[in-house]
Chain A
Amino acid sequence: MTLQQAKFQYLLRLGDSSLIIGHRLSEWCGSGPILEEDIALINIALDFVGNATAFLGYAATVEGNGRTEDDLAYLRNEREFRNLLITEQPNGDYASTITRQFLYDVYTYYLYDALKSSKDETIAALATKSHKEITYHLRHTTEWMYRLGDGTAESHERMQNAMNDLWMFTGEMFDMDEVDQTLIKEGVAPDLNKIKEQWEAHVKPVIAEATLQIPSYNFKQKGSREGKHSEHLGFLLAEMQSVHRAFPDAKW
């Protein structure tokens, strides 16, 4: 695997995860639990779309085949997407959305922090910008972890259910393959074992303070590195890409 191939794959992982979780958050538009949360969710979705645009744009540049960020977002099929499985999980109730966001935000908080010192200057610059946004997202989701985990009996139960459902998607966040090995060697990407340690050290005390339990099962889902997704992704893409694909020659 060449450095260029590895970079392209890696950039798709970053860009796709942002694109898909941003899409999920934007599905909340107008139906948030309180107006302030509607604003926060749209704002966070907007950050993710911006982040996806930047990383997919850079992916297209690295690929060098004349594709654009829009080609990558709108003209690839399910099996070509590299977003993490957790990002495509349906919104469910607010407990699911918050739990999904928290587990993912902590991951990107440490991942992007490491990417700030990537030997690839473009990645380093994009990561620096994104990390500021992620810091704000994480503060927001952490506050809601406490509120909902340690709020009422009902909210606690919903949060525990969400944690039980979503925990299985956290394992693959730290899976490494040839792409990672190639980039680690060149100082472009971090070793995910280290990110995993940081992630665990961060999520455990928050989950405990939110009076929640980490599920006892050890089973973990995986597959996004090879584009093996859950059944949800196909519907999400069908919706997201519908207008773009219906008018193949159009500019917008």
Chain B
Amino acid sequence: MNFIGIMEDEKKLAAFEAKIASGQKIEPKDWMPEAYRKQLIRMMSQHAHSEIVGMLPEGNWITRAPNLRRKAILLAKVQDEAGHGLYLYSATETLGIDRTELLDQLHTGKAKYSSIFNYPTLTWADIGAIGWLVDGAAIMNQTALARGSYGPYSRAMVRICKEESFHNRQGYEIMMHLAQGTPEQKAMAQDALNRWWWPSIMMLGPSDDQSPNSDQLMRWKVKMESNDAIRQRFIDRTVPQADFIGLSIPDKDLKFNEQTGHYEHGPINWEEFFEVIKGNGPCNAKRLKARNDADKKGRWVRDAAMAYAEKKKAKAA
């Protein structure tokens, strides 16, 4: 790029940043720096992938839901998640990349999805724990992202958060029933909390000292809050909920600090987190294979749909 080109871009960048600072949204047709576009594609597609990979551990219990009401609620929840995926893929496409390419990145392992879905759902109580903790943590993150600068993403977050609240409530309600149920049910609920607590804490991302927030992403309102700040809000909100239904958080160091008004938690096993991110979690291989198998198994269906559409077009012409 020549000197004049650089000057032009600097002018555009200044206008772009001024627009964000004034609280306006950036829309698909607006000029944006390449780094902004790239970062958003990465975040939004990761989010979309998480929605559809998340269908797998929950889908695992639809056929075994313990009564008809729970079955219907779980189906409705998973349908929402699929809808979130679709909505987020469309929002990501506004940045000039198509769904097929995004899915390729997922299937080849190039793109990531939330680390949490690499843990297995072992009992029915895990469905409660996911709604309560995983959707709960996601809401903390997404209410922040709803204030972000990119119009399509921020609007998607507003819409999605409404449904996530229903997911969170149904999960907590499952846990409440279990905690107030038979001794076996209560044990099942406690076991699920024991297994899902730390992964839920970790899914909000590495601590701030391991992942220094770039000022630029904050200034561009791509990232709104630090991981630790979001994590703190999640813990502060969730611990009293556990107390209320008589379940205990599996952290012997957890204590309430009267001065700060916040809970302090024990050390997080980041080694485990980074192993899961690297692909070594209990279900990474299984989830990726399930997505790839579905993609392969569905190819002839998509081909047929395409061929039929072509035939119809040819006939109409």
Interface residues of A (CB under 8 A from B): 23, 26-27, 29-39, 42-43, 45-46, 49-50, 52-53, 56, 69-70, 73-74, 93-94, 146-148, 150-152, 154-155, 158, 239-240, 242-244, 247, 249-252
Contact = CB atoms under 8 A, between A and B. Distances in A.
B301 A94 contact: yes
A31 B76 CA distance: 17
A30 B290 CA distance: 8
B159 interface: no
Given A30-B290, A150-B311, A250-B182, 13 more contacts: A23-B63, A26-B63, A33-B299, A42-B79, A93-B297, A94-B301, A146-B308, A147-B308, A148-B308, A150-B308, A151-B305, A249-B182, A252-B66
Contact of A33 (B65, B72, B290, B297): B297
A70 B68 contact: yes
A53 B68 contact: yes
A33 B63 CA distance: 20
Nearest to B298: A33
B124 interface: yes
Contact of A36 (B75, B86, B293, B304): B86
B112 to A, nearest CB: 18
B25 to A, nearest CB: 26
Nearest to A43: B79
B67 interface: yes
Interface in B253-309: 290, 293-294, 297-309
Contacts of A251: 177, 181
Which has the most chain A C-beta neighbours within 10 Å: B70, B78, B182, B305? B305
Contacts of A247: 66, 182, 184-185
Contact of A26 (B75, B184, B300, B311): B75
Interface string B162-205: 00000000000010011001101100000000000000000000
A54 to B, nearest CB: 10
Given A39-B86, A42-B79, A244-B67, A34 B55 contact: no
A49 B71 contact: yes
Interface in B108-127: 124
Nearest to A23: B63
B105 to A, nearest CB: 15
Contacts of B56: 30
B298 A94 contact: yes
B82 A73 contact: no
Contacts, number: 142
B89 A148 contact: no
A148 B301 contact: yes
Contacts of B174: 252
A53 B83 CA distance: 24
B19 interface: no
17 contacts: A23-B63, A33-B294, A33-B298, A33-B302, A34-B298, A36-B86, A38-B52, A39-B79, A39-B83, A49-B68, A49-B71, A49-B75, A148-B308, A155-B304, A155-B307, A251-B181, A252-B181
B69 interface: yes
A244 B184 CA distance: 13
A147 B299 CA distance: 14
B303 A151 contact: yes
A239 B63 contact: yes
Contacts of A49: 68, 71-72, 75
B64 interface: yes
A94 to B, nearest CB: 5
Contacts of B178: 252
Contacts of B305: 147-148, 151
Contacts of A29: 55, 59, 62, 78
B85 interface: yes
Nearest to B55: A30
B296 to A, nearest CB: 10
Contacts of B66: 74, 243-244, 247, 250, 252
